[in-house]
Amino acid sequence: MRSLLQLKCVKTGPRPRAGLHFARIQSAGEPLWYVRQGGPAGLFLGTVVRVSGGYQATRIMAGGALPTEWFPDREAAARWLLTTIKRP
């Protein structure tokens, strides 16, 4: 049985500030980006998806918690993901 969801990682534009890395996941739905800190192999922060004229950031946390916020631009959404991680 073939999967109906086909994902493909595509190259994104210039890297934003704060050492954030976006990997665009191409699917049949809305544009989706995986956000990592420090490059493609860095710490996974969460996802950003384009919705309703803006961007929705979602942080997947242990225990199944999914904090979500809406932002007017993709970089602001990614910066919010940075604030959701626990610092030592």
* DSSP H helical ranges for the chain: 74-83
Q: Would you put residue 19 in left (φ > 0), alpha (ψ -120 to 50) or beta?
A: left
Residues 6 or more apart in contact with residue 49 via CB below 8 angstroms: 30, 31, 32, 33, 55, 56, 58
pLDDT score recorded for residue 75: 93
Predicted TM-score (pTM) of the model is: 0.72
Query: Greater confidence, 7 or 84?
Result: 84
Given pLDDT bands bounded at 50, 70 and 90, which one contains residue 39? confident
Neighbours of 20 (CB within 10 A): 22
pLDDT score recorded for residue 18: 63
